[in-house]
Structure 1
C-alpha cells in the first residue's frame, strides 16, 4: 500500500473516530436533556391539574371532557390524585389507566415526596400535593411523542452527516496527501534517472524551505557527492594500478622473450633471471601495499582494536627496516618526560607498524645519509612522534599533494616507489584518531604524528 493511500485512510479513520465520539456524545446529551425536560413538563402538568381540581369550581366531568379533547390532538398527560388513605379521588381516564398505581407505589410517593420512572415508553412522575393541611399523591404519565421524534430526526441527520463528512474527508485526504507528497514523487522520478554513469545528477533543492523533504534531498545529494568521489577515486586507482602492474610485467615478458630468442652465456642468463626477480619483487611489494591499503580502508567497526604500546611498535618497525635495508640508519629517542601510560593506546598493531614502516623507509630513502631520527615527546594531552631526515626539501606545491594516492613529486621519481605509502599512512593514522603533519625547510623534513593522551 502506498504512503499516500495509507495516510489518507489513517486520516479518515482518525476523523471518523473523533466525529463518531462527538456525534454519540451529542445524541446521548440530547436524550438525557429530553428526559429531564419531559419530567419537568409532567411535574408542571400534575400541579396544574391538581390546582384545577382542588381550587376551581370546574366539575369533574368537564375536566374529563377537557382531557379527552386534548388527547385527540396531543399526547395529553394523564393525571391521577389519591388521598393519604390511597383512595382514588380523581383520574383523567380510569378506564385507560396508564400507571395502574399500587399501594406500594403510593406509599413510596408519600415517603419520598417525589419519584419518577419509565413504564414501557411512558414517563411517569409521582409527587405529593398539599391542600388545606392534607397531603395527596399525584401521578402524571405520558408519552413524549415530539421529543422522540426530535431524537429520531437527530439520529438520522447524524448518520447522514457522518457518512457525508467521511466521504468529503477521504476526498480531501487524497487531494492533500497527493499535494503534500508531490515533491516526493518528483524526487523518485529524478532518482530513477540517476545511474552509475550519471552520478553527476542531483536532486532539486530549495534553500528557502526547511522541511524534511528538502533535508532528505540535501542529504541524498551529499551521498551522491561521496559516491561520485568514490567512483572517480576507484577509476583513478584502477587506472594507476593497471599502469604500475603493467610496467614490471612488460619488463619481465621482454626480458624472458629476449632470453628465449637467442643463445646467451650463463652469466647473461643469470643477469636476465636477476632482472626478472627484481621486477617480480617490485610486483610483490606493490601487491602488499595494495593489501595494506585495502585493510586500512575497512569500516573502523570491522577492524580489531586492542591495547598497543607505541614504543614497542616503533622498535619492531626499527628492527624490520634495518634488517631489510642494511644501509639504512635509524635512531630512536623517547624523552624522559614521556610516561608509560601515554605510550598505550587502543589500536591495531599491524596497521600502525605499516604506517611507521612507511615513514621510516621514506625518511631513510630520501636522506643522503639514509638516516631517520625518531623522537617521542610528550605535550599537553598529546604524544608527538617525529620522523626526521635531512634530505631533499619538499616544495610547497608538492606539500599540498603529498598525501594523495599515486602522487609522486619530481624529487621522489628518482627513487623506486608507487605513491601509495604516505596515502596509506595518513589513512591508518586517521583511523586511530590521530593526526599527521609535515614540515620541510632548509634544515630538515619532519613528519609528526600526534596521538591524543587525554583518556590515556
Structure 2
C-alpha cells in the first residue's frame, strides 16, 4: 500500500473514531443528565404536593382536587400517588395513567430505603419516602419527559450531522496532508528510478520539502548514492587501471628479460637482473594497492599504522634511482628545526607508497631538467604539507579542472606514455586517508603537487 493511502486511512480512521466516541459519550451523558434532572423535578413535585396536602388536610377533598387540577399541566402524561405512614392511599392525581409497578415500588420503600427509581417503557418511575413534621408519607410518581426526549432527539440529529460533517472534513484534510507529506517521498522515488550508477558526473537527488527528516533522508541518500557511484566507477575503471598500471610494465619486464637472456657475460646480466627485480617489486606493490582499494570499496576498514612520511619518500627515491639513475630527487625541510612527531602519520603503507611513487614517476616523466624537489613543511599546527615540485610544461587553467578525472591527459602529456589514471588513483588514496592533493603552478614552467595530511 502506498504511504499516501496509509496516512489517509490511518489518520482519518483515528480522528473519525475518536470523534464518534466523543459524540456518543456526549449523547450518553446528556441522556443520563436528562433522566436525573427529570427525576429531581418529580421529587420536587412530590414534596410540593405533600406540603399542600398537609396544609389543607383539614379542608374538604375538593381542595385536594383543585390542587391536582392546578398541577396537572406541570408534566405531560403524569400520575402521582401519595400514601400515609400506613401505606394507605390518601391522594391520587387526576391523570388516568396506570402505574402497574406502584405496589412493587411501595413495598420497597421504607425508612431505610427512601428512594426507588425504575423505568416503565419511556416513563420515569420514582418512589420516595418523605418525613415531615406532621408525619411520614410514601409517594410514587410516573411521568413522561416529553420536553426532555424532544431535546434528546434534537441532540441526536445534531450529533449525527456533526459526525458526518467532521468525517467529510477529516477525509479531505487527510487527503491533502497525505498528498503533501508523501509528495517529496514520491519525488525521491521517481528520481531513484532514473538514477544510473557508474556515471562519470554524479548528479545529486533534489526534492522540494521543508521537513527536516526528509531533508536528512535526501542528504543521506545522496551520500550513499555518491559512494555507490564511486564504487561502480572504480569497478568500471579497474580493467583500465590494470592496463595502465600492470600491462605496460609487464610487457617491458618481459622484453627486458628476453634481452638479458641473450647476454653471455654474467657481469652484464647481474645489474640488469637487479633492475628487473625492482620493477617486479613495483608491480607487486601496484597489485597490492588495487587489492587494498577493492577491499575498502567493499566496506572493509582500512588498516593503518604510525609511520614517518619522510622516510617513505627516501625509500621510494632509492628504488626509483635504480630505474632512473639519471634523475635527481632533492628532499628539503622548510625549517631547520623539524618537529619529528609531526612527520609520523597514521597511514596504510601500501596505499601511501603507491601514491608517492605515482607523483615521483610523474616528475620523471614530465620534467625538463631531470630533477625534482620534495619540500616538507611541518610548521602548521594540525597539518603536514608536502610539496612535490618539478620544472616542465605546466597544465593550463582550463585543464586543471579535469586533472583528477579518469583518463584525462593534458597538452603536456603529448608523446608521453600513460593512460591518465595515476593521479585519480593518488587522489583516491589521499581521500581514504582524509587528506587532499592539489595542483598549482606559481611560476613559469613550475609544477607543484601539494599533499595536505591532517594530523590528529
Q: Do they superpose with TM above 0.5?
A: yes
1:388-429 deviations in whole A, cap 9, x for unaligned? 33x324244454543333333344445433322222222222
Mapped contact 2:15–2:170 kept (Cα < 8 A): no
TM-score, normalising length from structure 1? Answer: 0.66
Secondary structure of the structure 2 residue equivalent to 1:388: strand
Mapped contact 1:117–1:124 kept (Cα < 8 A): yes
Counterpart of 1:309?
A: 307
Of 92-101 and 36-45, more deviation after overlay is shown by: 92-101
Secondary structure of the structure 1 residue equivalent to 2:410: coil
Structure 2: how far apart are the matches of 1:101 and 1:158?
Answer: 40
Structure 2: how far apart are the matches of 1:203 and 1:315?
Answer: 42
Quote how far apart the aligned CAs of 1:26 are. Answer: 0.9
Counterpart of 2:374?
A: 373
Change in 2 beyond 3 A, CA 1:63/1:344: farther
Quote how far apart the aligned CAs of 1:306 are. Answer: 2.7
Structure 1: how far apart are the matches of 2:72 and 2:25?
Answer: 35
Counterpart of 2:449?
A: 447
User: Which residues of structure 2 form unaligned runs of 5+?
Assistant: 256-261, 264-274
Change in 2 beyond 3 A, CA 1:286/1:166: farther
Mapped contact 1:42–1:140 kept (Cα < 8 A): no
Structure 2: how far apart are the matches of 1:444 and 1:295?
Answer: 33
Structure 1: how far apart are the matches of 2:384 and 2:220?
Answer: 39
Counterpart of 1:12?
A: 12
Quote how far apart the aligned CAs of 1:37 are. Answer: 0.9
Structure 2: how far apart are the matches of 1:306 and 1:243?
Answer: 28
Mapped contact 2:440–2:448 kept (Cα < 8 A): yes
Counterpart of 1:423?
A: 424
Structure 1: how far apart are the matches of 2:417 and 2:198?
Answer: 36
Structure 2: how far apart are the matches of 1:58 and 1:314?
Answer: 133
Counterpart of 1:275?
A: none
Structure 2: how far apart are the matches of 1:344 and 1:300?
Answer: 28
Secondary structure of the structure 2 residue equivalent to 1:302: coil
Quote how far apart the aligned CAs of 1:46 are. Answer: 0.7
Structure 2: how far apart are the matches of 1:204 and 1:347?
Answer: 33
TM-score, normalising length from structure 2? Answer: 0.66
Change in 2 beyond 3 A, CA 1:307/1:193: closer
Secondary structure of the structure 1 residue equivalent to 2:110: helix
User: Which residues of structure 1 form unaligned runs of 5+?
Assistant: 110-114, 256-265, 268-277
RMSD: 5.6
Q: Write out aligned runs for 1:49-128 (5 A).
A: 49-56=49-56, 57-59=59-61, 63=65, 74-83=76-85, 88=88, 90-92=90-92, 97-98=102-103, 100-101=105-106, 105-108=109-112, 115-119=114-118, 121=120, 122-124=124-126, 126=128, 128=130
Mapped contact 2:386–2:451 kept (Cα < 8 A): yes
Change in 2 beyond 3 A, CA 1:2/1:410: closer
Structure 2: how far apart are the matches of 1:203 and 1:350?
Answer: 33
Mapped contact 1:375–1:385 kept (Cα < 8 A): yes
Quote how far apart the aligned CAs of 1:450 are. Answer: 1.7
Mapped contact 2:342–2:378 kept (Cα < 8 A): no
Secondary structure of the structure 2 residue equivalent to 1:108: coil
Q: Write out aligned runs for 1:142-153 (5 A).
A: 142-144=142-144, 146=146, 149=149, 153=153
Of 5-14 and 232-241, more deviation after overlay is shown by: 232-241
Of 135-144 and 8-17, more deviation after overlay is shown by: 135-144
